[in-house]
């Protein structure tokens, strides 16, 4: 796979990580140490099927401003499955809440002062929204990249998601997909998540293949994906005070919303509703970006996050 980014200098490798306790769970956490004493704490939450490595470039670009921690959600990346195999949105929000609370303790990795800048993509954006709504004391600012908020207008590019979420059907589809070669699956994922897959460097492509091959050998990889998706789709049907949009309306932290107009998974038309619903929101639309703007356009995402954090400060 030759891409236009192969002519650039080599990109940095993923940040090193280790297993850390978070309430009743154990998470694998990658950290980008700050290069400034004035840096503030930030927590990055990846999307469905992703991992902490989705934030590698943005974390590096913000080292002078943020002391960053990116956990793998339970069952994803290098994190073990959750206790009781609970992959619900509530469970994901609880473990991120527990992780942030530990970050703020003097014996944790944080400095023990104040809330964090919380940044999430896709499923991670939904989880971050629930954390910010339920525990405003823990969130100083919120940045959401293509958050997976409810929309009941499936498109041809995401119509497969409800089928994957269906009991029995999802497992059968997952087994069928698992029979495809790893490289083919990675290429299909990149085509779905990026507006232009040629922006993926050879190094990142090779890393993605190695990661997909490792995860395919895990006994819980399919459960993590399908059960998390099932919980997310179910939450789309909630109404009234229990809806995800009601949670968004309760967020008090200044919120930056970033949407790619070529997103094939999250309908960018939801951006207008999100901007109206989050009480203190600013909206950025990226015309040439897909679902993972932090990976496709890390420089631009880091630049607007930097401005957002400075505004909050």
pLDDT bucket at 4, cuts 50 / 70 / 90: very low
Q: What CA–CA distances, in Å, run from 215 to 47, 76, 208, 231, 313?
A: 16, 8, 10, 21, 39
Phi, psi of 143 (to 5 degrees): -125, 125
What is the reported pLDDT for 166? Answer: 46
| Between 108 and 61, the higher pLDDT residue | 61
Checking if the pLDDT of 74 tops 50, the result is: yes
Share of the chain above pLDDT 70, in %: 84
Domain residue ranges in the chain: 14-153+239-312
**Mean pLDDT, to the nearest integer, of 246-272?**
96
283 and 259 Cβ atoms separated by less than 8 Å: yes
CATH topology of domain 14-153+239-312: Rossmann fold (3.40.50)
Quote the tokens at residue 139: 């969130």
Residue with tokens 């940095």: 12
| Between 275 and 225, the higher pLDDT residue | 275
pLDDT one-digit tens code per residue, 180-210:
688 888 998 999 999 999 999 999 999 999 9
User: What span, in angstroms and rounded, lies between the C-alpha atoms of 299 and 57?
Assistant: 8
Average pLDDT, the chain: 88
pLDDT bucket at 95, cuts 50 / 70 / 90: very high
pLDDT one-digit tens code per residue, 5-35:
444 446 889 999 999 999 999 999 999 999 9
Residue with tokens 């909050």: 312
pLDDT bucket at 240, cuts 50 / 70 / 90: confident
What is the reported pLDDT for 2? Answer: 42
Q: Which helix (H) or strand (E) holds 70?
A: strand 66-71
């Amino acid at each position: 796979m030759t891409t236009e980014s192969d002519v650039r200098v080599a990109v940095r490798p993923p940040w090193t990580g280790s297993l850390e306790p978070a309430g009743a769970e154990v998470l694998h956490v990658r950290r980008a140490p700050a290069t400034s004493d004035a840096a503030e704490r930030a927590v990055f939450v990846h999307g469905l099927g992703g991992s902490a490595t989705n934030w590698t470039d943005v974390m590096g670009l913000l080292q002078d401003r943020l002391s960053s921690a990116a956990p793998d959600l339970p069952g994803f990346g290098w994190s073990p499955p959750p206790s009781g195999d609970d992959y619900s949105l509530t469970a994901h929000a609880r473990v991120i809440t527990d992780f942030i609370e530990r970050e703020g303790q003097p014996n944790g990795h944080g400095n023990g002062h104040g809330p964090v800048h919380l940044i999430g993509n896709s499923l991670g954006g939904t989880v971050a929204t629930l954390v910010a709504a339920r525990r405003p004391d823990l969130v100083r600012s919120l940045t959401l990249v293509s958050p997976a908020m409810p929309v009941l207008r499936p498109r041809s590019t995401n119509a497969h998601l409800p089928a994957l979420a269906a009991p029995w059907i999802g497992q059968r589809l997952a087994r069928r997909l698992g029979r495809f070669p790893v490289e083919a699956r990675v290429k299909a994922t990149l085509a779905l998540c990026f507006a232009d897959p040629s922006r993926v460097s050879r190094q990142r492509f090779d890393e993605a293949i190695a990661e997909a091959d490792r995860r395919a050998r895990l006994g819980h990889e399919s459960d993590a994906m399908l059960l998390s998706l099932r919980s997310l789709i179910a939450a789309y049907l909630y109404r009234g005070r229990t809806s995800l949009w009601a949670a968004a309306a309760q967020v008090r932290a200044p919120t930056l919303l970033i949407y790619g107009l070529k997103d094939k998974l999250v309908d960018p038309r939801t951006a207008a509703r999100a901007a109206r619903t989050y009480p203190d929101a600013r909206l950025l639309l990226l015309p040439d970006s897909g679902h993972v703007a932090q990976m496709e356009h890390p420089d631009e995402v880091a630049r607007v996050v930097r401005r957002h954090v400075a505004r909050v400060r």
